[in-house]
Amino acid sequence: MSSALPLPAPKRFPLAAMLVLATITFTAITTELMPSRLLPQISEGLKVSEPVAGYLAAAYAAVIVITVIPAA
């Protein structure tokens, strides 16, 4: 008499979930890094210096940190 339990059948790869995660990751990284490249245009459009426009990117990053903490 064998006490071994049968192994469960392997599950299908969750392709849809992986595509959703990849899209979210791409979007998050792009929206976080894009302002650093666009600081000259942002500062020109807002008629402020580039360091002041950099505070806009820092404020966006702070909002992301605050909103992600409850999700963790």
- 9 belongs to a structural domain: no
The pLDDT, as a whole number, for residue 1 is: 57
- 46 belongs to a structural domain: yes
More confident residue, 69 or 58: 58
Contact 32, 61 (CB under 8 A): yes
- 26 belongs to a structural domain: no
More confident residue, 71 or 7: 7
- 13 belongs to a structural domain: no
Residues of the domain holding 43 = 34-72
The pLDDT, as a whole number, for residue 72 is: 58
Residue type, 39: L
- 43 belongs to a structural domain: yes
Tokens 């650093």 correspond to 36
- For the segment 15-67, what is each residue's pLDDT rounded down to a tens digit? 999 999 999 889 888 887 888 889 999 999 999 999 999 998 888 888 888 88
The pLDDT of 4-15, averaged and rounded, is 81
Q: If you count them, how many residues does the chain have?
A: 72
What are the distances in angstroms from CA 11 to CA 6, 7, 15, 18, 38?
Answer: 15, 12, 12, 14, 44
Give the pair of three-digit tokens for residue 26.
Answer: 């791409």
